[in-house]
A and B are shown apart, each in its own frame.
Chain A
Amino acid sequence: MNDMNGCIHLNNFKAAKGVNPYKVVHAFFVACTSQEARMYKATACLCFVCSQPGPRLHSCLHCIYFGCYEGHMQEHSKTKKHFLYIDLNHGNVFCAQCQDYIYDQELADIATRNRLKGAKSLGLSAPFMSWVPNANEAAALRRLRKRRMISPNTTIGLRGLQNLGSTCFMNCIVQTLIHTPLLRDYFLGERHKCKPSGAGKCLVCEVSKLFQEFYSGAKTPLTLHRLLHLIWTHARHLAGYEQQDAHEFFIATLDVLHRHCMNGLEDVEKKENGRCNCIIDQIFTGGLQSDVVCTCCSGVSTTIDPFWDISLDVAGPGSLQACLERFTRAEHLGSGAKIKCSNCRAYRESTKQLTLETLPIVASFHLKRFEHSEQIDRKISTFVSFPAELDMTPFMSSHRRAVDTADNNNGPEGVFEDNRYSLFAVVNHLGSLDAGHYTAYVRQMKGSWFKCDDHMITRADLAEVLDSEGYLLFYHKTVLEYECDV
């Protein structure tokens, strides 16, 4: 084995012929950066001697020759004195004179770029790349010697919140936001850089400060008076000293955060196909598809609306999945609710179906436990079970379409899509409508749950969490997909 500077033989080759031979072979037969490349790979990648696609097919770097690693590549190398060849599965270069694969930084960079291009051309997620500190960050790491180790029993990130007089609705939402993995990464990475004009008035800055407080290592409960004041200022309907609905507070907070993201120096005008690209929308926004089908002409009218959460009716004991199934079921609108069909040019009876067109990274569910009608206001305490791991595939528009048209529901998209979600926070409402209290369960690390009851933080286990009533349920995408510009 050698360092990252290749070997003398590879270096001589590069000096004479450059990196282009490697680049071309890699782009066509290793990473397949285009449809054309895939065509060539599919038809031409066979051993020149035994006509098999493997095992471990290699390509000569000096001339056009494919050979398997079972001996045919080695024979070619010996007779022609072509000592460098590329493994077509992984893209590594073998040097027959050194008798081993060679690391070379320049070729490794080419390979990475090609792989990103290949993934992009297939619409695949870019491969995960771990953080490499840049020069400034490396210098900062050397300067700041204090390290905080994360052990299995760590209580890092946990802090109680004082109740300022019926502010438990705010406390449980703040605990949830603080323990939203991607939001935490964003804020601890200090990604929000505010314009000077935002000073003291920006809710995003306030949340940024809060994250620092939660992760400072201090254990005393925090008081959120500044945050509460900012939200009162920017969401007037929540101002006042009475108990508020945690769900309403959650949505209002996201709304103010989303608006204040525009204070960021780098956050201006980042709209992509009409969709806001702020951190709140990147994490919380999904697309809800509504299909209205005319019963006369079967014409479909489709609209897609953004959503931050899904409110589900609680009708009798059941499960979250059953609620979602009901939510995405086609519903006949009846003769009392005729809709104008653009095809028939007349008011017709129709069916309406809601499905999820795109999923947010954090899926938030609101169980409608509070019923407000003219006669009575009441709370529905019916048991609704919810899982720790949830697969959202059955509720997707693409899946429903495949099922409905009796197509196989295992179409190519379905096989490769990964729509699994993991529970990471549950907000509970205890007591009655007028004398209630909110608490939250949060997942601090994988398998490590805590109950947040204002200033009290106690360890909890998953069974206890799943057994709780559940008012707001928060799920985080289990596997993240990455985008990359190549």
Chain B
Amino acid sequence: MTVNNTIAHQRLILTGDRERFKELLRRRLIECGWRDQVRMLCRDAVKETEGNNVTLDTLVTRVTPRARALVPDTVKKELLQKIKTHLLTQKEH
């Protein structure tokens, strides 16, 4: 992370806006059915695993690439645009 990035990151946490953006993203992912799709991916991954020993790490490694690819472009675009506008309109202190 560069210095500017770190400052932006800290600001987002401090103002609570990071939490707000996270909540917005969470909503969009639920609305478009992404969460349900990922849930199904996880179930499949657990079923395919031999034996009983599924850890979160194995699940994350298996599911993440496909889950990322499933995020609709519209959601990515909306978030990107909103975060960008938001950061650019923040008044300098």
Q: Which residues of A contact B (CB under 8 A)?
A: 1, 32, 38-39, 41-43, 45, 52-53, 99-101, 118, 121-122, 124-125, 408, 410-412, 415-416, 418, 479
Q: Say if the beta carbon of B16 comes within 8 Å of chain A.
A: yes
B15 contacts which chain A residues (CB < 8 A)? 38, 412
Tell me if B16 and A38 are in contact (CB < 8 A): yes
Tell me if B89 and A410 are in contact (CB < 8 A): yes
Query: Could you say which of B14, B54, B57 contacts A1, with CB atoms under 8 Å apart?
Result: B54
Chain B nearest CB from A120 CB (Å) reads: 11
Query: Could you say which of A39, A118, A411 contacts B89, with CB atoms under 8 Å apart?
Result: A411
Tell me if A42 and B14 are in contact (CB < 8 A): yes
Chain B nearest CB from A91 CB (Å) reads: 13
In the assembly, what is the distance between CA of A100 and CA of B54, in Å?
9
Q: Say if the beta carbon of B20 comes within 8 Å of chain A.
A: yes
In the assembly, what is the distance between CA of A334 and CA of B33, in Å?
53
Tell me if B16 and A415 are in contact (CB < 8 A): no
The verdict on A100 contacting B17 (CB below 8 Å), with A124-B23, A410-B89, A415-B82 known, is no
In the assembly, what is the distance between CA of A245 and CA of B56, in Å?
61
Tell me if B85 and A38 are in contact (CB < 8 A): no
In the assembly, what is the distance between CA of A273 and CA of B23, in Å?
28
Q: Which residues of B contact A (CB under 8 A)?
A: 1, 6, 9-11, 13-17, 19-21, 23-24, 27, 31, 52, 54-57, 82, 85-86, 89
Tell me if B13 and A42 are in contact (CB < 8 A): yes
A412 contacts which chain B residues (CB < 8 A)? 15, 17, 20, 86
Tell me if A41 and B17 are in contact (CB < 8 A): no
Tell me if A479 and B19 are in contact (CB < 8 A): no
Closest to B24 in A: A416
A411 contacts which chain B residues (CB < 8 A)? 89
Closest to B5 in A: A53
Tell me if A124 and B13 are in contact (CB < 8 A): no
Chain B nearest CB from A52 CB (Å) reads: 6
Closest to B16 in A: A122
A43 contacts which chain B residues (CB < 8 A)? 10
In the assembly, what is the distance between CA of A99 and CA of B17, in Å?
34
> Given contacts A100-B57, A124-B20, could you give 12 more A-B pairs where the C-beta distance is less than 8 Å?
A1-B52, A32-B16, A38-B15, A42-B9, A43-B10, A100-B55, A408-B89, A410-B86, A412-B17, A415-B20, A415-B24, A416-B23
Chain B nearest CB from A389 CB (Å) reads: 12
In the assembly, what is the distance between CA of A52 and CA of B9, in Å?
11
The verdict on A38 contacting B23 (CB below 8 Å), with A100-B56, A415-B85, A415-B86 known, is no
Closest to A407 in B: B89
Chain B nearest CB from A117 CB (Å) reads: 12
Closest to A46 in B: B6
Chain B nearest CB from A412 CB (Å) reads: 7
B82 contacts which chain A residues (CB < 8 A)? 410, 415
Chain B nearest CB from A292 CB (Å) reads: 30
Closest to B82 in A: A415
The verdict on A479 contacting B27 (CB below 8 Å), with A43-B10, A53-B1, A99-B55 known, is yes
In the assembly, what is the distance between CA of A412 and CA of B20, in Å?
10
Closest to A1 in B: B54
Closest to B46 in A: A1
Query: Could you say which of B6, B19, B27, B86 contacts A118, with CB atoms under 8 Å apart?
Result: B19
B57 contacts which chain A residues (CB < 8 A)? 100
Query: Could you say which of B6, B31, B85 contacts A410, with CB atoms under 8 Å apart?
Result: B85
In the assembly, what is the distance between CA of A321 and CA of B11, in Å?
37
Chain A nearest CB from B39 CB (Å) reads: 14
B9 contacts which chain A residues (CB < 8 A)? 42, 53
A125 contacts which chain B residues (CB < 8 A)? 23
